[in-house]
């Protein structure tokens, strides 16, 4: 079996457990396709055999496991606040099943309720692309967008753009009370902006969402037919 290996704190627990089972001989023949350089390093450290996406496509990715930043009632997701959205979407969209593991705080009535929706953009002309994204939501109360930055080199009191594993930048979109409207239409309009590579709305991709509740119970939510 070939697995898509997610990125983030939740996925890290899955990697550790998968490594334990492989070392115990309980999962012979399992290999993974990592969704980020960080996951690649973690998976290698715990002994998970790795494949690139092009090599895995022949054998088909049977199952991807990852967390999410938000999950709406239709199991649409916001992912990629850590910056790995492009590789996550490529790999998790290429498989047969995509299982998402979250705690109940990630359940939202609408996407964009709890934080940024990330958009990966090419560095060339990034301020121009940011302006086009702002224009798309011009007049929407409470909307704002910015380029994600991180502290510059040590000793410098400056900020510099966050750079993804693909060498791109991230624009963060914020909505006062989440996104209202046709998500697929909004997705299409974002992707038609030249300079936008991909966005962090994962629409109709999750097949199962496993929710850990505060009281210790677990709920399993399946995609509606």
pLDDT in tens, 124-147: 999 999 999 999 999 899 999 999
User: Hey, which residues are catalytic here?
Assistant: 88
Nearest to 207 by CA among 60, 12, 63, 81: 63
Beta strands across the sheet bearing 2-5: 31-34, 2-5, 63-66, 97-103, 208-212, 218-222
pLDDT in tens, 188-206: 999 999 999 999 999 999 9
Q: How far apart are the first and last CA of the chain?
A: 26
The answer, yes or no, to whether residue 157 has pLDDT greater than 80, is no
**Domains observed in the chain:** 2-105+203-214 (3.40.50.1360), 117-198 (3.30.70.260)
Whole-number pLDDT of residue 155: 62
pLDDT in tens, 78-91: 999 999 999 999 99
């Amino acid at each position: 079996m070939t697995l898509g290996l997610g990125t983030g704190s939740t996925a890290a627990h899955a990697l550790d457990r998968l490594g334990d089972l492989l070392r115990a001989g309980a999962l012979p023949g399992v290999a993974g396709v990592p969704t980020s350089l960080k996951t690649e390093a973690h998976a290698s450290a715990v002994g998970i055999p790795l494949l690139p996406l092009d090599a895995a496509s022949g054998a088909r990715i049977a199952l991807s496991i990852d967390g999410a930043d938000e999950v709406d009632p239709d199991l649409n997701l916001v992912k990629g606040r850590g910056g790995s959205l492009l590789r996550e979407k490529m790999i998790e969209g290429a498989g047969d099943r995509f299982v998402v593991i979250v705690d109940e705080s990630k359940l939202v009535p609408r996407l964009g309720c709890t934080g940024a929706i990330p958009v990966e953009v090419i560095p060339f002309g990034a301020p121009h692309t940011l302006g086009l994204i702002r224009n798309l939501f011009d007049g929407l109360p409470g909307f704002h967008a910015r380029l994600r930055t991180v502290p510059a080199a040590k000793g410098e009191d400056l900020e510099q753009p966050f750079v993804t594993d693909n060498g791109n930048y991230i624009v963060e979109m914020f909505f006062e009370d989440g996104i209202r409207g046709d998500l697929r239409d909004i997705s299409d309009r974002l992707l038609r902006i030249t300079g936008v590579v991909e966005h962090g709305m994962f629409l109709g991709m999750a097949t199962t969402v496993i929710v850990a509740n505060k009281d210790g119970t677990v709920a399993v939510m399946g995609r509606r037919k």
